[in-house]
Amino acid sequence: AEEKRMSGDTVPMETDATVKTEDVKPPPPSNAPLLLTKPGQKFQTPTPGDADRVFYESLHKQKPDSPMAQNYVIEYGILPMAEASELYKIYLERKRNPQAPVRAAPKPKKVKTQVIDGIGGDTGFSGGAGMEGVGVGAL
């Protein structure tokens, strides 16, 4: 049964259904422990748009051996469970022995450069008198 208001809106009337207090669950207490389910996770996983998460995720994709990125993705539970388990082993090894690198970083290749005489041109600098451009143009 509905009742018409002057403005034309319909408002439901009271029904016979009553809400039992057993059906309503109280919200969890604010001091409830967080579910940290991944190995090495210490903090709640940030939302995908979080600036720190975006930075460290992209760093981890570009440089998987970066200790900074590894620490973040492990401690914040960013990676899938299988990848997190593998990386957690490396993380623990680095925590046990912080001086020794766990993975050797690839050495950058040296690029040989050649200087060819006669190519280059004028750079615009000259070994002038030192007074250039200091108001001596009328001389």
Tally helices (H) and strands (E) across the chain.
Answer: 3, 2
How far apart are the C-alpha atoms of 129 and 39, rounded to whole Å? 70
The CA distance from 86 to 31, in Å, is: 32
What is the reported pLDDT for 53?
Answer: 92
Token pair in block for residue 50: 């979080």
Cα dihedral sign, 113-119-124-127? positive
Contacts of 67 (CB under 8 A, 6+ apart): 94
- Predicted pLDDT at 94: 87
The answer to whether 45 and 76 are in contact (CB under 8 A) is yes
Report the interhelical angle of 81-96 vs 67-75 (nearest 10°).
120
pTM here is 0.48
Confidence at residue 70, expressed as pLDDT on a 0 to 100 scale? 92
**Mean pLDDT of residues grouped by 10 in the chain (139 residues)?**
56 58 60 71 90 93 92 91 90 82 66 69 60 61
